Structure 1
Amino acid sequence: MNVARHSRGRNATVSQILNLSRCFNKAFLSKQARKEEIPSVVTSSNDVLSVSERDLGKLYVTPRREFEKIFPHGLQTSFMKEVQSSSQAGILVRKPALDIINHLRNHSQSNTSPMRFIINGPDGCGKTLTLAHIIHYCCKANWLVVQIPSVFEWVYSRNKVRHNMHDHQTFDQPQEALEWLRNFKTLNASHLTHLKTTSKHTWGKVDVTKSGQPLGVVVDQGLQKPMNATDAISVLLREIAKVKDRKILFAVDEFNGLFGTTSVQDPDKQLVHLKSLNLISHFQRLLTDLLSANTSATVASLSRTGMLHTRSRGFGLRDLLPHTWLQQLKPYVNIRVEEYSDDEMTSILEYYAHIKWLVASRDQKTVTEIRFLTQRKPFAVQKICSTC
């Protein structure tokens, strides 16, 4: 009797193990099947340095942690929600970004051709992500990257400003300056120990940075004493403009904001003129300083989204940039970013389905509706798929 009961118990145990084994095998095969879906929409190599023309219309994927190191400030809110949801950043390989990257990749110091690119196009068509792709490439290729993630956040800021200690007619933006220094340090940590100051710099009545000190000392001066943050950026940019032994990328999103209007108010609640904002002046000067540097590249993206008091109905260069600055920037390459092509639309919808950003069925009716409602504009596609 006990033997029979023991035999049945052993058989039940064996049966449970077999069932558990089948479940594991099924889960493993299901996981493998999901992995096999990836190559149809994702590049064969997710290394941004190896992305090429054969990858056009596909996405390269970066783990969330790596992406956040390169973009500590983040990108558009909707895109960052997608990154957080999927724990990865998928960026579509598009011709505008690849054209600029190929030019940067093939450029040499003996080449005097222009290294200035202005990205423009209709609202919501992916100019910011095009710029992000280029920044990612340059970071991985060991360029020194000087980036302004959002000019509009500076010129339309509601944070307090203070009179500059050296020039009371101008204003510092301590909070914006501190954030920029933190991001710059994160992005360029490997460069800041090797690059040295070329002259002595005095901070107030006491602090001094001697010639030959690492540029990281200048950054830390601004981070440790917020009242010096804006001046630290001024010193840093002047020193960067003198660098000749490495490639420099000056990347600006909402570039036209450097030449427009401002809603910043001084301590007396009076509007501050753009020319009186030191952050803006410092970066305008860097732009001018780098015009003759053949080891540097300026990549600027135009935007109307979030722009206040605009009367412009167009989104072209002449609509958004002053004539005088366009003349100074010559020669430049005009890079236009358009709506998704049919192939790009197919790839992005497949990717969204893969990461569960799009949970609705991708039947022909749904796809047709998404195309119609979004007009194939990347920002609108991303937003509407998050609700499907």
Structure 2
Amino acid sequence: MNNHLKLLSSLESNTCFSEQQPDYLSRAFFRTDLSNPAEHNDLHHGLFYRIPNDIANRLFLLGGFDKLQQETLKVFQETAIMIRKPALEVIDYLRRTDFTKPPNSYVLYGPIGSGKTFSLNHILHYGFMEKFILINCTRPTDWINWPQEQAQSTTKVKRIDTPLDAAIWLQTFKAQNMTILDELKLTSLNRYTWSQREHTEPGDPIQSIIEHGINRINHASDCMAVLLKELKLNSAKGNCRLMVVVDKANAFYEPSRLRFPDRTFATVDDITIARAFKKLFRKDWQNGAIVASVCKKLVVPYRLLSISGIPKKENDRDRTYKQWGPFNVKHLSDYPKSLLTDQDRQWLQRPISKTDDGQNEIRFLSGMNPGQVFHICSDL
């Protein structure tokens, strides 16, 4: 505090300001007037910037911040975000990305409350300004564990639909991307049958799939899955660029609490919209990027038992929420490799690694040494 006061005294003695000097100084110390994330750099690290209200209302119409964060933003009547180093780093990577290649994946990690959600929203705003099509998932646990409604899928495959959650996501997607979709005029590349009288033909606007899912709730889950599929196909053809932004992505690798009518537990891949969204993590498309965060707050009791090595002596249902609350996970690692489980440990993710050229490159870099192969591939 003393050093801070000395700095102010030095500025006052060497610089002539108007009578508004204290307000100007206090504003300069913690805020920047640059509201476009594309203009942010290391000089703005630690400062707050304001997202214009018209953009914030579109980006965060139905989510993006938890309840406490929403109350804070409401008190100050503005959406102000601190410019953090991870967000600046990811934005810099996105500027230098070759979008003709399969999408790069960026994972934000850190202790609970370290600002991962705000950094994701900073990057989401950057994608909006740079005219990416935004595919945003803020609460995957709602789809996987606590959907507003669930129903048996009408398809031949044994799956669970969550129509209300799918319709809400479609409304959010429409709000975030209505302008860019009108500019790009993307169309469906395949034919889809929703009922005997309702179809989507090749060449129909992609907006028709969105509107159908919003207006016909029973078809919302299938419409969301089809929309994500069509966006991947269009991006692979170079018709658009996608930015997939997921908060708490490790939820897609946790067990689900949903059950089929026969009372057997469903997996994440048995839930229509979760399965469709999870396919975006693959490397089988171009012109896009994947930005996600992981958080150990989501780790459920049976994961705690298996990771910590504590012997299971009583039923999980007998344990109180206070004892097994989401914040009682200090002994767990914050790193993605611990939170994404073994399902996501696919070292050779790029298709080129399976070709002869890719294999020869690995042999050259490792000198045919198995230890070096492990060292090279472990970070992929």
What TM-score, normalized to structure 1?
0.72
- Of 162, 166, 177, the residue aligned with 1:173 is 162
Kept in 1: contact 2:243–2:289 (CA 8 A): yes
> Could you say if the C-alpha distance between residues 245 and 277 of structure 1 is closer, same or farther in structure 2, counting changes exceeding 3 Å?
same
Tell me, what secondary structure is at the counterpart of 2:297?
coil
Kept in 2: contact 1:73–1:149 (CA 8 A): no
Equivalent runs, 1:293-332 vs 2, <5 Å: 293-309=285-301, 310-311=303-304, 312=307, 313-327=332-346, 330=349
Task: Give, in whole Å, the separation in 2 of the partners of 1:63 and 1:37.
Answer: 21
> Could you say if the C-alpha distance between residues 220 and 60 of structure 1 is closer, same or farther in structure 2, counting changes exceeding 3 Å?
same
- Residue 31 of structure 1: how far off its partner (Å): 8.4
Task: Give, in whole Å, the separation in 2 of the partners of 1:145 and 1:30.
Answer: 45
Equivalent position of 2:5 in the other structure: none
Equivalent position of 1:221 in the other structure: 212
- Of 186, 190, 202, the residue aligned with 2:175 is 186
Letter in 2 for 1:82: T
Equivalent position of 2:79 in the other structure: 89
Kept in 2: contact 1:150–1:254 (CA 8 A): yes
Task: Give, in whole Å, the separation in 1 of the partners of 2:335 and 2:24.
Answer: 42
Sequence identity percentage: 22
Task: Give, in whole Å, the separation in 1 of the partners of 2:102 and 2:212.
Answer: 37
Runs (5+) with no aligned partner, structure 1: 1-28, 332-388
What TM-score, normalized to structure 2?
0.73
Kept in 2: contact 1:218–1:236 (CA 8 A): yes
Post-superposition Cα deviations, 1:65-92, rounded to whole Å, max 9, x if no partner, equal 4312111123121211111111111111
Q: Does 1:53 align with 2:67?
A: no
Runs (5+) with no aligned partner, structure 2: 1-17, 308-331, 351-380
Q: Which moved more, 1:130-139 or 1:34-43?
A: 34-43
- Residue 32 of structure 1: how far off its partner (Å): 8.8
Equivalent position of 2:313 in the other structure: none
Equivalent position of 2:252 in the other structure: 258
Equivalent position of 2:120 in the other structure: 131
> Could you say if the C-alpha distance between residues 129 and 183 of structure 1 is closer, same or farther in structure 2, counting changes exceeding 3 Å?
same
- Residue 330 of structure 1: how far off its partner (Å): 4.2
Equivalent position of 1:149 in the other structure: 138
Task: Give, in whole Å, the separation in 1 of the partners of 2:128 and 2:348.
Answer: 24
- Residue 323 of structure 1: how far off its partner (Å): 3.0
Equivalent runs, 1:25-64 vs 2, <5 Å: 34=23, 37-64=26-53
Q: Does 1:198 align with 2:189?
A: yes
Q: Provide the aligned C-alpha RMSD in A.
A: 2.3
- Residue 30 of structure 1: how far off its partner (Å): 9.2
Kept in 1: contact 2:136–2:246 (CA 8 A): yes
- Residue 269 of structure 1: how far off its partner (Å): 6.0
Task: Give, in whole Å, the separation in 1 of the partners of 2:157 and 2:98.
Answer: 43
Equivalent position of 1:6 in the other structure: none
Equivalent position of 2:223 in the other structure: 232
Post-superposition Cα deviations, 1:76-122, rounded to whole Å, max 9, x if no partner, equal 21211111111111111111111100111122345x48621111112
- Residue 168 of structure 1: how far off its partner (Å): 5.7
Equivalent position of 1:379 in the other structure: none
- Of 54, 69, 75, the residue aligned with 1:79 is 69
- Residue 246 of structure 1: how far off its partner (Å): 2.4
Post-superposition Cα deviations, 1:328-384, rounded to whole Å, max 9, x if no partner, equal 6847xxxxxxxxxxxxxxxxxxxxxxxxxxxxxxxxxxxxxxxxxxxxxxxxxxxxx
Kept in 2: contact 1:116–1:297 (CA 8 A): yes
Q: Does 1:161 align with 2:150?
A: yes
> Could you say if the C-alpha distance between residues 34 and 242 of structure 1 is closer, same or farther in structure 2, counting changes exceeding 3 Å?
same
Task: Give, in whole Å, the separation in 1 of the partners of 2:75 and 2:348.
Answer: 40
> Could you say if the C-alpha distance between residues 138 and 203 of structure 1 is closer, same or farther in structure 2, counting changes exceeding 3 Å?
same
- Residue 239 of structure 1: how far off its partner (Å): 0.6
Task: Give, in whole Å, the separation in 2 of the partners of 1:329 and 1:229.
Answer: 35
> Could you say if the C-alpha distance between residues 117 and 46 of structure 1 is closer, same or farther in structure 2, counting changes exceeding 3 Å?
same
- Of 211, 219, 225, the residue aligned with 2:202 is 211
Letter in 1 for 2:269: K
Task: Give, in whole Å, the separation in 1 of the partners of 2:82 and 2:255.
Answer: 33
Task: Give, in whole Å, the separation in 2 of the partners of 1:240 and 1:328.
Answer: 26
Equivalent position of 1:8 in the other structure: none
Kept in 2: contact 1:160–1:267 (CA 8 A): no
- Residue 158 of structure 1: how far off its partner (Å): 4.9
Task: Give, in whole Å, the separation in 2 of the partners of 1:294 and 1:239.
Answer: 13
Letter in 2 for 1:84: K
- Residue 139 of structure 1: how far off its partner (Å): 0.7
- Residue 307 of structure 1: how far off its partner (Å): 3.6
Letter in 2 for 1:235: V
Task: Give, in whole Å, the separation in 2 of the partners of 1:73 and 1:127.
Answer: 19
Tell me, what secondary structure is at the counterpart of 1:234?
helix
Kept in 2: contact 1:64–1:87 (CA 8 A): no
Query: In terms of Rg, which structure is larger?
Result: 1
Tell me, what secondary structure is at the counterpart of 2:189?
coil
Count residues with an aligned counterpart: 300
Kept in 2: contact 1:115–1:294 (CA 8 A): no
Kept in 2: contact 1:64–1:83 (CA 8 A): no
Post-superposition Cα deviations, 1:231-278, rounded to whole Å, max 9, x if no partner, equal 001111111111223221011111111111112244566543322211
